[in-house]
Amino acid sequence: MLSREAKHFASGGVTVLATARSVGSLKDLTNQFNNIEAFALELDDRESIERLKELVTARTNGRLDFLVNNAGTHYAATAMDLELEKAVKLFQVNLFAVMHLCQIFIPLLRRSPQGRIVQIGSVTRQIPVLWQCVYNASKAALSQYTKTLRLELRPFNIEVIEIVTGFVRSNILHHGLYAPGNSLYLPVKSTIENLKVQGNKNGMPADAYAESVVEKLMQRHVDCEIWQGNLALFLRILLSLLPLRLLVSEAIHNDKGPNSFKILESSSLTQFQAKTS
């Protein structure tokens, strides 16, 4: 996703300072665009983040117009089966690194006539998508942090924008769903995994998503939230009209097709639980 957004920003004439663990992975981008430069960054390394600030400050003479926090990681496990160390690592990348980056780059954004912080969020901040409780929680926390940051930075003419992402085709589920051999959810794992894979196939093409997001961000006036991706606008309207508990109840009792909520209510899961009790 990062490379696609970087391309569209660069095509619009923006000088892009792209980051990755290895600058070699950005070689195709820097070869294709003269206005894309690569910098190394380890999001779980505080010193790496501090070094990035020094390099960017020197490169830009202390001014930054956009800070796009796009990096993120995924971990697909249920609340009963999650590995705590992996949950902590996910929060480090998806939340705490974002907080650190915002904190150290705010002084550079203040020197821009219209500084903008862009957080890549998700509809899972409100929708409890099954088998990814840690990821959902990180996006909910990021959203609340973003809302607070927006208020705190208003006096300094810095806009804080959250991209509320719906379904977009990606390789985020390439590791599949995690479940140990004694998991109570094993009877439904493959079925829910298939539903998630199918949902990914039905997602908005990643390049179309990136192009649309960048186009909106380049406008003079931007909404504080941009809902983008398959079903994003539909969910925005639905969430504004119905309480979440009613949406979940409807999903469980909807007879029009299989969904993960209904599968968790299945008799096979109940029978498996009885056998292992």
CATH of the domain at 86: 3.40.50.720
192 assigned to some structural domain: no
Instruction: Specify the 3-state DSSP secondary structure of 274.
Output: helix
What value does the mean pLDDT take over residues 139-155?
98
Residue 265: pLDDT band by 50, 70, 90 thresholds?
low
Q: How many domains does the chain have?
A: 1
**Quick check: is 235 in a domain?**
yes
Mean pLDDT of 172-186: 87
To the query of whether residue 139 is one of the catalytic residues in this protein, the response is yes
CA-wise closest residue to 105 among 39, 11, 29: 39
- Could you tell me if residue 78 is left (phi over 0), alpha (psi between -120 and 50 degrees) or otherwise beta? beta
What residues make up the domain containing 167?
A: 41-182+204-242
Out of 75, 135, 145, 209, the active site residue is 135
Quick check: is 2 in a domain?
no
Evaluate if pTM is beyond 0.95: no
Percent of the chain's residues with pLDDT above 90: 75
Q: Does 247 reside within a domain?
A: no
Long-range contacts of the stretch 7-12 (C-beta < 8 A, 24+): 7/32, 7/33, 7/36, 7/210, 8/210, 8/211, 8/214, 8/215, 9/66, 9/214, 9/218, 10/35, 10/36, 12/214, 12/218
Clarify whether 209 is annotated catalytic. no
Say if 135 falls within a structural domain: yes
Q: Is residue 137 part of a domain?
A: yes
> Does the pLDDT at position 61 exceed 90?
yes
In a domain, 18, yes or no: no
Is 224 part of any domain? yes
Question: Residue 201: is its pLDDT beyond 70?
Answer: yes
Q: Which of 7, 27, 86, 139 is catalytic?
A: 139
